[in-house]
Amino acid sequence: MADQEIALMAHLLRRAGYGASRDEIEAKAAQGYDNVVKELLNPGDDPGIDEDLMYRAYPSYFDKAAIETGQTEWVYRMINNKYQLKEKMALFWHTILCAGDNKVDNARTTAIQIDKFRDMGMGNFKDLLMMLSTDPAMLYYLDNIESHKTAVNENFGRELLELFSIGVGMDNEFNYTEDDVKACARAFTGWNLAPTIPVFPYGRTPFEFRFDPADHDYGEKTFLGETGNWDGGDIVDIICKQPATARFVARKLYDFFVADEPPVPSWRLSEPRDIEAIKSLEKAYFDSGYEITAMLTVLFNSDFFKDEAVRFAKVKSPADVVIGTMRMVGDHLEPKPGLFFVAMEPKYMGLDLMNPPTVEGWHMGREWINSGSLIDRINFASSMLGNTDLPGVRSIINRLMDLGDVPSSVEFLDGCLDLLGPMDLAQETRGELTEHLDAGGALKHGNAAEQEEFSRRAGETLQMIATTSEFQFG
């Protein structure tokens, strides 16, 4: 198969999912890019994993007495969900429509929000905003439960506009005024929770949404130039038809799947990196009546996504590092002990799932990297890729043996880079690695002893590639 097709398929599977083993990349490439995009965009209704098996193996996942349990379940799904784009969209929306269990303090309620992102994340944006506006974790996190007809709390109303849909501004103009924030917040008064059941002695019971008509402001409101007796549903309707909302969703998708954009608060003054790309996504948004799948269809079939210049140009998120590595080495593909330790790794690297630092979410791109997180990223990926007992690593080693009886150090290194990406390294870095390989003597694998040594050196080389700065990009 042509190398270019493999490289493109690997790029698609890294961005529209958490990567794949080489065998899977080749199988998908054989299906053809367009077919695979169609498959990714049309996941089934089923959860994509065997939930019965998971809950039998890990009964505590169901109740989620602690947030770590919810995080571990999510990591299990990320590794194993056969609908990878659907799974990745759950993380996509979580990084934007942020609620944190550090405030909600009810892991099951918080995790249910993520389940809804997974189920609805490729659907209609209007449905998603309506779901969000009735989501107990969000209403609690942004204090809408404290927002009353007679005493309006603007927290949710403001963030709905500023961070979840329209954004502060575009093309040098402001997108809304303070009066719009007030009208928006009034429209959501009475969108509240049913009285909650205490944690003890009953266990964790998820919060439930309840509309309280007595606490709702039915008065006339003017929102973004339209006047009426708006309630939350009307507000969401008006939001969805704004050009700024199309811009917002388009830019967020581009940022997550194609190339880094600056954070939302600067969007009033900062032009999109690729305005033509953004316009094509905006068009899909309106043509389809706000369907996310329509936008993703344009995105994954576009030249701007397939462009070689955008490959390996985004700093991997901690989820990409951890899950991408697990899928590459083929570990935890079924329930077994030890997943908890893997699932805590994203947190150590700065992505505490379901606990964003603020409602603005995580600062991504290069900000994932600091001296502490870099050590964790390097140690985690290199320890996995250097473990020659893991099935994915074994498979890479077997393929390296197919390179020839005694591959040269350059052939061997190229083979490793091809099977890990295909990816490339700076010339200087390549030089250091081939020199190191040369110093170790010929790469023979004729007899058992040579094969063992060959495996060891393959593990070592994969391990060192995992430490490079290039490996931090995906």
Partner 1 sequence: MVSTVKDPVLAVISLSGGNDGMNTVIPYSNPHYRDYRPALGVPEDQIIPITDQLGFHPALASLKKYWDEGTLAIIQGIGYPNGSLSHFRSMDIWATCEPEELGLTGWLGSVIQDVDPKGENVLTGVNFGRGLPRSLAKEGVPVASVGDLSSYGLLTEIGAEAQRNEALDLFGRMYAPAIGQGVVDDYIRRTGIEALKGADILGTAPGMYKSEVEYPSSAMGGYLRDMAQVHNADFGTKVLFTTAPYNIFDTHANQAVGHANLLQDIAVSIDSFMTDIRQLGKSDNVTLFFYSEFGRRAMDNGSGTDHGTGGIAFVLGDHVKGGLYGEYPSLEPNKLEDGGNLQHNVDFRSAYTTLLDRWMGLDAKAIVGGNFEPVPFL
Interface residues with partner 1 (CB under 8 A)?
66, 68, 100-105, 199-200, 315, 344, 347-348, 350, 352, 355, 357-359, 365-366, 369-376, 378-379, 382-383, 386, 426, 428-429, 432-433, 436, 460, 463-464, 467-470, 472-473
Q: Which residue's CB is nearer to partner 1, number 104 or number 187? A: 104
C-alpha span between 339 and 234 (Å, rounded): 44
Find the shortest distance in angstroms from Cβ 141 to partner 1.
10
Q: Least Å distance between CB 314 and partner 1?
A: 9
**Shortest Å, Cβ 455 to partner 1:** 15
Instruction: Specify the residue, 24 or 68, whose C-beta has the smaller distance to partner 1.
Output: 68
Q: How far apart are CA 256 and CA 278, in angstroms?
A: 13
Q: Which amino acid is at 339?
A: L
Which candidate, 125, 41, 21, places its Cα nearest to that of 86? 41
Give the C-alpha separation, 257 to 445, whole Å. Answer: 41
Smallest separation, CB 63 to partner 1 (Å)? 15
Q: Which is nearer to partner 1, 41 or 104 (CB)?
A: 104
Write out the E strands in 154-299.
169-170, 173-174, 191-193, 209-211, 221-223, 226-228
Q: At what angle do helices 391-401 and 448-467 cross, to 10 degrees?
A: 110
Q: Name the residue type at position 131.
A: M
Q: Which is nearer to partner 1, 242 or 409 (CB)?
A: 409
CB of 20 to partner 1, least distance (A): 24
Shortest spacing between CB 428 and partner 1, in angstroms: 5
Q: Which is nearer to partner 1, 11 or 457 (CB)?
A: 457
Which residue's CB is nearer to partner 1, number 113 or number 468? 468
CA distance 260 to 244: 19
Identify the residue whose tokens are 């949404």.
209
Eight-state DSSP code of residue 268: T
| Cβ atoms 379, 400 nearer than 8 A | no
Q: For partner 1, which is the closer residue by CB, 44 or 195? A: 195
SS3 368: helix
* Of residues 338, 357, 455, the one with CA closest to residue 401: 455
Q: How is residue 458 written in tokens?
A: 């393959």
Whether residue 218 contacts residue 151, with contact meaning beta carbons closer than 8 Å, is answered with no
Minimum gap (Å) between residue 105 Cβ and partner 1: 4
Q: Which is nearer to partner 1, 66 or 410 (CB)?
A: 66
Helix boundaries (H) for 97-141: 101-104, 107-120, 125-133, 136-141
Distance CA 9, CA 26 (A): 8
Q: How far is the CB of 112 from partner 1 (least distance, A)?
A: 18
Identity of residue 173: E
Smaller CB separation from partner 1, 30 or 375:
375
**Nearer to partner 1 among residue 101 and residue 418 (C-beta):** 101
Nearest to 210 by CA among 196, 198, 199: 196
Question: How far apart are CB 201 and partner 1 at their closest, in Å?
Answer: 8
Query: Could you tell me the smallest distance in angstroms from the CB atom of residue 118 to partner 1?
Result: 23
